Amino acid sequence: MTSAIKLAIVGVGKIVYDQHVPAIAARADDFSLVATASRHHTIDHIPGFTSIEAMLAAHPDIDAVSLCMPPQYRYAAARQALAAGKHVLLEKPPGATLSEVADLAAFAAEKGVTLFASWHSRHAPGVQPAKAHLAAHVPTAVQVRWKEDVRQWHPHQDWIWQVGGLGVFDPGINALSILTEILPSAMFLTQATLSFPENRDAPIAADLHFQDAADIKVHAEFDWRPTAQQGWDIIVTTVGGELRLTDGGARLWINGAGQALAQEAEYLSLYRRFAALIRAGQSDVDVAPLRHVADAFMLGRRKAVAAFYD
Ligand code: NAP
């Protein structure tokens, strides 16, 4: 029996209340939530501090921290936590640039602590069964439709429209995290169009074309404008038929037949993995999804579209 890892959360907001807090409570054998650091928000019955410095000074016994603020503000907190010898979980996307994440990975290795760049969608119940199916049934084409109403899912989140906030890639990177997990070979971007509202610094839609070394074509459409017919679907045509991974990876259909899956428990699985990495003395920093986003900003044609107001 090993003792629970003393955990702190930095950047308390929507995803912390919705997912991190219940998942940590459900994994009480692995984690004990001992403190938070957030400028305006706290969690009931947990000591709260307004800065990570104050929190680490008051609780030197903290073993690990989950960093859940917007990606533009994650690097400085991660550096501080790693410098203090804490294990670190990064919410997705792991940072604002690839280079800052590489710096964090090197620093974690130097300090001998775990860095976990988490991708919650990879823990959706259909993802590993889809990966196993595609290992045995060669894909010939892939279509991704990640379409949601930004006003419903991201009301008044200014950071998401600012540089580094990624715009529609904030949800779209979840699709990329699944694709890079389930496809048997690595894909790369060949063409992209990014639609920027004329009053915003981040795209509201993206149309992306990838291929892999075997010339398998992957077409992805991310869009934040639909108010009806929202969906988070990946459709893979294979030599033997069709695989449909729907609802962000929660449901799987193979040749039209729904597959029996475990219940959705992405964040429970995420924290199980974080605990296993800490106990094994390992890190997991896969930047492939963020690299595809960076490629899209590098190769994508920029198209101005109607201004967006909340
Ligand atoms: P959020 O609620 O808008 O922000 C989280 C918290 O970060 C805020 O409550 C705020 O707390 C802190 N924060 C905001 N701006 C900051 C700044 N400039 N400097 C330092 N801290 C700041 O965002 P969220 O929806 O929870 O998303 C946070 C991260 O989780 C994002 O990377 C997102 O991609 C990821 N995520 C979100 C969801 C979702 O459904 N929302 C799902 C999965 C993953 P204080 O004001 O108290 O400091």
pLDDT of 1 > 70? The answer is no
Domain endpoint, select from 117, 140, 160: 117
Q: What confidence score (pLDDT) does residue 240 get?
A: 85
45/192 same-domain check: no
CA dihedral 248, 93, 97, 85 (to 10 degrees): -150
Angle 22-25-28 (CA atoms, 0-180°, nearest 5)?
Answer: 155
Q: What confidence score (pLDDT) does residue 147 get?
A: 98
148/237 same-domain check: yes
Domain endpoint, select from 117, 135, 155: 117
pLDDT tens digits, residue range 27-58? 999 999 999 999 999 999 999 999 999 999 99
CB 125 within 8 A of CB 264: yes
192/79 same-domain check: no
CA of 172 to the centre of ligand 1 (A): 17
Tokens at residue 210, please? 């990838």
184/97 same-domain check: no
Atom of ligand 1 nearest to the CA of 40: 47
| Mean model confidence pLDDT for the chain | 97
12 lines ligand 1 (CB under 6 A): yes
Q: CA 92 to CA 174: how far, in whole Å?
A: 8
CA of 118 to the centre of ligand 1 (A): 15
218/138 same-domain check: yes
Give the residue whose CA is nearest to atom 2 of ligand 1: 13
157 lines ligand 1 (CB under 6 A): yes
Residue 275 within any structural domain of the chain: no
Q: What confidence score (pLDDT) does residue 104 get?
A: 99
pLDDT tens digits, residue range 4-22? 999 999 999 999 999 999 9
Residue 280 within any structural domain of the chain: no
Domain of 111, CATH number, reads 3.40.50.720
- What pTM does this model have? 0.98
CA of 72 to the centre of ligand 1 (A): 10
137/229 same-domain check: yes
127/199 same-domain check: yes
88/132 same-domain check: no
Q: What confidence score (pLDDT) does residue 246 get?
A: 98
96/209 same-domain check: no
| Structural domain of 152 | 121-261+294-305
Residue 157 within any structural domain of the chain: yes
Share of the chain above pLDDT 90, in %: 97
Residue 257 within any structural domain of the chain: yes
pLDDT tens digits, residue range 178-232? 999 999 999 999 999 999 999 999 999 999 999 998 899 999 999 999 989 999 9
pLDDT of 2 > 90? The answer is no
Q: What confidence score (pLDDT) does residue 206 get?
A: 98
Q: CA 188 to CA 195: how far, in whole Å?
A: 20
Quickly state the pLDDT bin for 112 (edges 50, 70, 90): very high
46/145 same-domain check: no
Q: What confidence score (pLDDT) does residue 125 get?
A: 98
pLDDT tens digits, residue range 127-184? 999 999 999 999 999 999 999 999 999 999 999 999 999 999 999 999 999 999 999 9
Residue 164 within any structural domain of the chain: yes
Tokens at residue 9, please? 């959360």
Sign of the Cα pseudo-torsion (181, 185, 188, 190, in order): negative
157/299 same-domain check: yes
Tokens at residue 270, please? 């995420």
pLDDT of 303 > 90? The answer is yes
Domain of 160, CATH number, reads 3.30.360.10
148 lines ligand 1 (CB under 6 A): no
Label residue 162 exposed, middle or buried (CB < 10 Å: 0-12, 13-18, 19+).
middle
Sign of the Cα pseudo-torsion (167, 194, 92, 281, in order): negative
Q: CA 202 to CA 195: how far, in whole Å?
A: 8
50 lines ligand 1 (CB under 6 A): no
Domain endpoint, select from 93, 117, 141: 117
pLDDT of 293 > 60? The answer is yes
92 included as an active-site residue: yes
91/231 same-domain check: no
101 lines ligand 1 (CB under 6 A): no
Number of domains in the chain: 2
Report the first-to-last Cα separation within the chain, whole angstroms.
50
CB 293 within 8 A of CB 176: yes
